[in-house]
């Protein structure tokens, strides 16, 4: 096999990886010269080639600017599948099903919280638990958990966690279908039942920030964002429940269909098969758990901040999914007849954000004329971005864009409490208060462990697969 | 490999996740050391031996057995808030392509400790279990998603 497939630079921000004999599609990579070099240092390119080997994959497989090595598919990898011939693969979606981001806006300005940062960080840290090894404060019965899996965010709203107005602002209104809770194993339910309303650990966080730069006044206004406004970002996923759903179906698919020789982690099932459908339903249930989880966290944040700012108003800007598969319609070119045809496909996004342009019915009505909000969290201590989806993304990247900065440094397991303390202090000097369950965990998420978010966002903005709207500067970070 | 073979387990470089190898003269010892590596990712604190639990898992090869065995620790942590301290008994049975492991593990409530990293899942990425002819030991390699 050719170890160095032919890679062609198409534009300053995109590359094409030639289709080899065992690939069913070519690979399109969004990166500049520097980011492509980083991708070549780990297994990103090799993994993207493996993604292109799956049955029924449509051209092109997309690799985004923040891509890095994962297991199975690379993180930052998107595949669109033909519904008749294609397969669905948990390894192309991720273990943390619907690891996702919600952005809240407030009626507070930067001046309102000056001097209150320490109280805020301590309060929020107590209010929103990481839940790791401890579980959360919300207890639900087994029967109720089934309702969570069926209803997603609206279950939480019905129980008094949050407002009805929150729901239309969530991707798919906070509930993915079909979602039969019987497709989720008892084991997965047991892992998740105690974890509602918890952040988890690793790169998951809750961040209070300030809008420090507006790039597009009109769109920012439509999203309800203005300079010096205080925002809150929540980044977490489906916790142990989603992780177990992925593990369960990897095993079931392996038993039924065996696994591909090129990577055991890309085990898959035909989309149309009984097992493929069950996984899709279970994955949706896990996403619904993640929606409910963030809805509860939103409620905890609201209740807590009310104690400090009695007149505070907190509204949802949007919530985007990062690890998910969705049925979506695209205009697909028929090369033979030089015509376009609308086609429904399954788009699997792993560490990628949907980036729909203006007019799509999937976008909340209030935002439909400008496009879908795209939320890109930075690494700890660096800026986050709000972008807007584009028609171009629908044309060239299966309606997808980046999901974050992307790691570059390895994690290590040695004890690094001192490094964690150093980072905390250094960030405090920069005006960023951080609280974490563990100083060692904090060290793992050091800002220099990630690619530069500014570079990553610049590439997708230039490539036109999402456009910059606003930048958020972090002030307070709660780490799981 | 000569240096690392003296240790029970070692951590290797991996960009996003955590990769380790564990070693043992028997498959049982190798699996036990893999479990210890897993614990080291979760916490650096010393866990008391307060409770005892019995676990058993099946697999169709050494790799799937190891996957299911390690996953059991994540399940116990998430669903029972239990973190293990040591393995008291461990036994692997192989009969006609059916691999089975039974173990008695001791540990404590995870609520009493600081968990530094929540492991999302065990993965098959780069996984192997093999007998190393040079060191005369079993070796396994695992990448976990964190």
Q: Residue A389: pLDDT above 80?
A: yes
If you average pLDDT over each of A262-266, A367-371, A435-439, A475-479, which comes out highest?
A: A367-371
Residue A333 is predicted with a pLDDT of 81
Q: Residue B2: pLDDT above 60?
A: no
Is the domain B4-145 a CATH 3.30.700.30 member? Answer: no
**B14, B15, B18, B23: CA torsion to nearest 10:** 0
CA distance A55 to A31: 26
Q: Residue A418: pLDDT above 70?
A: no
Tell me the pLDDT tens digit for each residue of A148-189: 999 999 999 999 999 999 999 999 999 999 999 999 999 999
Residue A413 is predicted with a pLDDT of 58
Residue A411 is predicted with a pLDDT of 65
Confidence of residue A380 (pLDDT cuts 50, 70, 90): confident
Q: Minimal CA–CA distance to B84: which of B64, B62, B103?
A: B103
Strand pairing partners for A473? A210
| Choice among A236-245, A301-310, A421-430 with the minimum mean pLDDT | A421-430
What secondary structure letter does DSSP report for A255?
A: H
Q: Stretch A317-342: mean pLDDT, rounded?
A: 91
Q: Mean pLDDT in chain B? A: 92
Q: Residue A408: pLDDT above 90?
A: no
Q: Closest approach of chain A CAs to the CA of B66, in angstroms? A: 13
Residue A1 is predicted with a pLDDT of 43
Please report which residue ranges of A52-182 form alpha helices under DSSP H. 110-113, 117-127, 142-151, 153-158
Backbone angles phi, psi at A18, to 5 degrees: -55, 145
Q: Under a CB-based contact definition with an 8 Å cutoff, are residues A314 and A231 in contact?
A: no
Q: Stretch B51-71: mean pLDDT, rounded?
A: 96
8 Å CB contact of B118 and A200: yes
Q: How far apart are the first and last CA of chain A?
A: 43
Q: Minimal CA–CA distance to A302: which of A77, A89, A442, A123?
A: A123
Task: Give the A window 86-145 contacts with B, CB below 8 Å.
Answer: 95-96, 130, 132-135
Q: How far apart are the first and last CA of chain B?
A: 26
Number of domains composing chain A: 1
CA-based R_g, chain B, Å: 14
CA distance A413 to A444: 9
Q: Stretch A198-217: mean pLDDT, rounded?
A: 93
Q: Which two tokens stand for residue A39?
A: 């991708």
Tokens 């864009």, located at residue: A401
Residues A241, A242, A243: CA angle, nearest 5 degrees: 95
CATH of the domain at A233: 3.90.1860.10
Residue scoring higher pLDDT (A439 or A402): A402
Q: Is A172 left (phi over 0), alpha (psi -120 to 50) or beta?
A: left
Residue A2 included in any domain: no
Nearest chain B alpha carbon to A244: B121
Answer whether B6 touches A (CB < 8 Å): no
Q: Provide the annotated active-site residues of A.
A: 403
Residue A410 is predicted with a pLDDT of 65
| Choice among A128-142, A217-231, A267-281, B97-111 with the minimum mean pLDDT | A128-142
What secondary structure letter does DSSP report for A1?
A: -
Strand pairing partners for B19? B12, B143
Answer whether A69 touches B (CB < 8 Å): yes
Using CA atoms, how far residue A184 sits from A61, A295, A321, A347, B64, in Å, is 29, 21, 20, 22, 21
Can you point out the beta strands (E) in chain B?
Answer: 9-12, 18-24, 51-59, 82-95, 98-109, 121-132, 137-145
- ipTM of the complex in this document: 0.86
Q: Stretch A74-81: mean pLDDT, rounded?
A: 97
Burial A381-401 (b: 16+ CB within 10 A, else e): bbbbbbbbbbbbbbebbbbbb
| Choice among A92-96, A371-375, A445-449 with the minimum mean pLDDT | A445-449
Residue A337 included in any domain: yes
Q: Stretch B65-78: mean pLDDT, rounded?
A: 96
Q: Which two tokens stand for residue B65?
A: 């057995």
Residue A5 is predicted with a pLDDT of 66
Mutation for A interface: B39, B97, B121, B128, most A CBs within 10 A: B121
Backbone angles phi, psi at A79, to 5 degrees: -125, 140
Q: Closest approach of chain B CAs to the CA of A218, in angstroms? A: 37
Q: Residue B15: pLDDT above 80?
A: no
Residue A84 is predicted with a pLDDT of 97
CA distance A444 to B116: 10
Which helix (DSSP H) or strand (DSSP E) does residue A222 occupy?
helix A217-223
CA distance A27 to A45: 9
Burial A127-163 (b: 16+ CB within 10 A, else e): bbbbbbbbbbebebeeeebbbbbbbbbbbbbebebbe
Q: Minimal CA–CA distance to A223: which of A122, A109, A369, A339?
A: A369
Q: Which two tokens stand for residue B110?
A: 């995870």
Residue A115 included in any domain: yes
Answer whether A447 touches B (CB < 8 Å): no
CA distance B54 to B39: 17
Nearest chain A alpha carbon to B72: A187
CA distance A252 to B145: 19
Confidence of residue A2 (pLDDT cuts 50, 70, 90): very low
Q: Minimal CA–CA distance to B60: which of A266, A51, A264, A53?
A: A264
Query: Residue B130: helix, strand or coil by DSSP?
Result: strand
Q: Residue A46: pLDDT above 60?
A: yes
Query: Residue A234: helix, strand or coil by DSSP?
Result: strand
Of the partner residues B15, B44, B118, the one whose CB lies closest to the CB of residue A410: B15
Q: Under a CB-based contact definition with an 8 Å cutoff, are residues B13 and B21 in contact?
A: no
Residue A438 is predicted with a pLDDT of 80
CB atoms within 10 A of CB B73: 22
Task: Give the B window 30-69 contacts with A, CB below 8 Å.
Answer: 40-42, 44, 64
- Supply the range of the domain harboring residue A366: 7-479
């Amino acid at each position: 096999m050719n170890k160095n497939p032919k890679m062609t630079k198409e534009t300053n921000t995109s590359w094409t990886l030639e289709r080899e004999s065992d690939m069913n599609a070519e690979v399109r990579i969004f990166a500049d010269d520097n980011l492509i070099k980083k991708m070549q240092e780990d297994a990103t390119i090799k993994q993207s080639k493996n993604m292109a080997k799956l049955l029924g994959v449509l051209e092109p497989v997309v690799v985004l600017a923040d891509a890095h090595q994962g297991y199975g598919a690379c993180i930052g990898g998107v595949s669109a599948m033909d519904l008749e011939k294609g397969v669905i693969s948990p390894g192309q979606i991720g273990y943390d099903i619907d690891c996702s981001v919600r952005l809240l806006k407030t009626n507070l300005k930067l001046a309102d919280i000056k001097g209150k940062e320490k109280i805020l960080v301590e309060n929020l840290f107590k209010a929103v638990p990481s839940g790791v090894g401890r579980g959360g404060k919300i207890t639900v019965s087994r029967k109720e958990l089934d309702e969570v899996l069926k209803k997603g965010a609206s279950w939480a709203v019905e129980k008094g966690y949050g407002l009805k107005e929150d729901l239309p602002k969530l991707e798919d209104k906070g509930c993915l279908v079909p979602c039969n809770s019987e497709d989720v194993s008892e084991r997965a339910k047991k892992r998740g039942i105690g974890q509602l309303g918890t952040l988890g650990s690793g790169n998951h966080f809750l961040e209070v920030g300030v809008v420090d730069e507006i790039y597009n006044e009109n769109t920012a206004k439509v999203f309800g964002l203005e300079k010096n406004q205080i925002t809150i970002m929540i980044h977490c996923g489906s916790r142990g429940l989603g992780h177990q759903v992925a593990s369960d179906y990897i095993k079931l698919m392996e038993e039924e269909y065996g696994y591909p020789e090129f990577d055991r982690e890309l085990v898959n099932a035909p989309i149309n098969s009984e097992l493929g459908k069950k996984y899709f339903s279970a994955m949706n249930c896990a996403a619904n758990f993640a929606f409910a989880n963030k809805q509860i966290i939103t409620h905890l944040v609201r209740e807590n901040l009310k104690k400090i700012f009695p007149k505070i108003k907190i509204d949802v800007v949007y919530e985007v999914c990062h690890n998910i598969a969705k049925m979506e319609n695209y205009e697909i070119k028929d090369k033979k007849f030089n015509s376009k045809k609308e086609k429904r496909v399954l788009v699997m996004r792993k560490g990628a954000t949907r980036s729909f342009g203006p007019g799509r019915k999937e976008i909340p009505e209030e935002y439909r004329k400008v496009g879908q909000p795209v939320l890109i969290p930075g690494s700890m201590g660096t800026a986050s971005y709000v972008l807007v989806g584009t028609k171009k993304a629908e044309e060239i990247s299966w309606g997808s864009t980046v999901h974050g900065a992307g790691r570059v440094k390895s994690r290590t397991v040695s004890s690094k409490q001192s490094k964690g303390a150093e980072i905390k202090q250094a960030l405090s000097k920069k005006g960023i208060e951080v609280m974490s369950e563990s100083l060692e965990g904090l060290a793992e998420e050091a800002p220099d462990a990630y690619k530069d978010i500014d570079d990553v966002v610049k590439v997708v903005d230039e490539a036109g697969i999402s456009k910059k709207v606003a930048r958020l500067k972090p002030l307070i970070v709660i780490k799981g | 490999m000569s240096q690392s073979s003296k240790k029970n387990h070692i951590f290797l470089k991996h960009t996003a996740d955590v990769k380790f190898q564990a070693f043992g003269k028997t498959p049982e010892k190798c699996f036990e050391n893999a479990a210890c590596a897993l614990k080291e990712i979760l916490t650096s604190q010393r866990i008391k031996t307060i409770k005892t639990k019995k676990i058993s898992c099946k697999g169709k090869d050494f790799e799937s057995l190891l996957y299911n065995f390690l996953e059991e620790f994540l399940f116990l942590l998430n669903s029972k808030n239990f973190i293990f301290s040591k393995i008291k008994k461990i036994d692997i049975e192989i009969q006609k392509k059916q691999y089975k492991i039974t173990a008695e593990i001791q540990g404590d409530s995870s609520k009493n400790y600081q968990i530094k990293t929540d492991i999302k899942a065990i993965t098959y990425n780069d996984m192997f279990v093999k007998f190393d002819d040079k060191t005369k030991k079993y070796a396994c390699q695992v990448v976990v998603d964190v």
